Amino acid sequence: MSLEMRYDREDDVLMIWFAPQKQIDHAEQVGQIILHLTAQGEPVLLEILNAQTFVPELIRVVMTAEPAAAGA
């Protein structure tokens, strides 16, 4: 699977396509994340709103997180 990414500077949205050839049926939003899905529930597109703030914070959290225990 190859990812396609694009950043829209004007709207401050990072878009990541998992399956650009598939048809989007619906989307679900949680906070600043919108996930577009097929009718079968497969992810097609991930949108990150307010990307200039969200992405650096996500990286900071990931880099400072404790490693998961084996088998957890």
- Mean pLDDT, rounded, for 1-14: 92
Q: What is the pLDDT of residues 16-72, one digit of tens each?
A: 999 989 999 999 999 999 999 999 999 999 999 999 999 999 899 889 988 876 665
Q: What is the pTM of this model?
A: 0.80
Structure tokens at 46: 């991930």
Decide: residue 28, CB within 10 A, 0-12 exposed, 13-18 middle, 19+ buried. exposed
Cβ atoms of 46 and 30 within 8 Å: the answer is no
